Amino acid sequence: MTRLRILEKFFISIILLSALPSFIAMLVGFLIYKNYFNKINGILNGTAVLETEIFQGFWGTMGVVLFCIWLITVISAMLVMLLFFKRVLKPLEDLSIIATNIAGGNLSQRIPHMNNGDEISRLYNALRSMNESLYEDIKKLKQVNKLKSEFLSIASHQLRTPLSSIKWLIELLMETNKLDKDQKEKLQDIYKSNERLIELVNDLLNATKLETGDFAVKRQPLNLAELLSGCINSLRPVADSHNQKINFIVETDIQTIKADLLLLNQALTNILDNALAYSPYGSDVSVTLKRDDSHYIVAIHNFGSPILESDHDKLFTKFYRGATAARLRPAGSGLGLFISKMAIESNGGSIWFESPAKDGEGTTFYISFPTNS
């Protein structure tokens, strides 16, 4: 008998047990009616006292019988419910816990194989097969991702040396006086392209190291305001070339955290550089440092086009570039925000953004660090 058939029998039993009190009530009603009828006849025949005594004795016995029937009914219903819970509800409850664990990402648990041949057993076995298949697929994907990261790391290392040599040779050629104007312009274009390649290779290498945990994070006491000021000063020539202004506001006196100088400097520079790149010509970019009860918060705001809703969940993904980014900055690698997020989180911080859909309100990136970091 399958568990669903047990469920069917359970409900039939409930119906029968529910009908039993009604049957008893009908029987008692019939007896009361009979007693009432006999009492009327007794009054007429002079035997009313005898009939009443008989009825009282019968009613006392019937009360005991009815109580016993009620008690047996309750106990029977409880036994049926316990059996139902053990045979049907308990396996379903266990299955629900297993499914919740799988949904939470715990694919390493082992689901028992069941051979009862009923519906719940088939559901158990199907879930077990699905879990094992997902577990194996994820293992393969992790292995592929590891091989890809190793390849990117090796390729980046191998590319850095020749690119650095090309850069050195171009700089030597540009210092000579044997080139005409046209040759110098072409050489300058080559130099810029080589610089973009070097930047891409460095981004790939840093992203791979951060992702695999091979980057040694060296934390030291840093003044967050001074670090931000240095990033801003390094990008002022970029802002000046687009007639942009960077406003820096510090709203707290103590700004010391423990973080890796190189990582944090790169992350903050990337975000500020993006704010300038995606902000209109002649607009302002604001950088605010403030403190709440437990965190330092850096807010970098520009008045550029809003980030599309479809890009919100993917913005910090490796190699992802939104439609606006691809249009305004076609030479980007799609690694800047990914590296920034990894660098900030590796130093105990967090990053998020707000970008209202309305034009003119701009976008604000927030970076926070615990005050006790």
Q: Where are the alpha helices (DSSP H) in the chain?
A: 3-45, 48-84, 90-103, 119-175, 181-212, 224-241, 261-277, 323-328, 336-346
Q: Which residue has the tokens 């648990």?
A: 109
Tokens of 212: 């695999």
Q: Which residues belong to CATH 1.10.287.130 in the chain?
A: 144-212
Tokens of 193: 């392209």
Q: Which residues belong to CATH 3.30.565.10 in the chain?
A: 221-370
d(Cα 136, Cα 139) in Å, to the nearest integer? 5
What does pLDDT average to in each consecutive run of 10 residues of the chain (373 residues)? 54 56 55 53 49 50 60 67 65 75 73 70 79 81 74 71 83 81 85 82 77 77 92 91 92 85 90 90 92 90 84 82 68 80 90 80 91 75
Please provide residue 276's backbone torsions phi and psi, each rounded to the nearest 5 degrees.
Answer: -75, -40
Buried b (16+ CB within 10 A) or exposed e, 69-96: eeeeeeeeeeebeeebeebbeebeeeee
Query: Quick one: pLDDT at residue 73?
Result: 65
Query: Quick one: pLDDT at residue 87?
Result: 64
According to CATH, the topology of domain 221-370 is: Heat Shock Protein 90 (3.30.565)
Query: Quick one: pLDDT at residue 88?
Result: 63
DSSP 86-138: IIIIHHHHHHHHHHHHHHTT---PPPPP--S-SHHHHHHHHHHHHHHHHHHHH
CB 209, CB 182: distance < 8 Å: no
Q: Using CB atoms within 10 A of its CB, is residue 111 exposed (0-12), middle (13-18) or buried (19+)?
A: buried
According to CATH, the topology of domain 144-212 is: Helix Hairpins (1.10.287)
Cβ partners under 8 Å of residue 354, min gap 6: 363, 364, 366
Query: Quick one: pLDDT at residue 203?
Result: 77
Sign of CA dihedral 252, 254, 260, 261: positive
Query: Quick one: pLDDT at residue 48?
Result: 47
d(Cα 262, Cα 291) in Å, to the nearest integer? 23
Query: Quick one: pLDDT at residue 357?
Result: 66
For residue 363, the cross-strand partners are 302
Query: Quick one: pLDDT at residue 49?
Result: 47
Query: Quick one: pLDDT at residue 117?
Result: 66
Q: Using CB atoms within 10 A of its CB, is residue 290 exposed (0-12), middle (13-18) or buried (19+)?
A: middle
Instruction: Indicate the pTM of the whole model.
Output: 0.58
Q: Which residue has the tokens 């997902």?
A: 134
Query: Quick one: pLDDT at residue 191?
Result: 84
Task: Residue 107: count other Cβ atoms within 10 Å of its Cβ.
Answer: 17
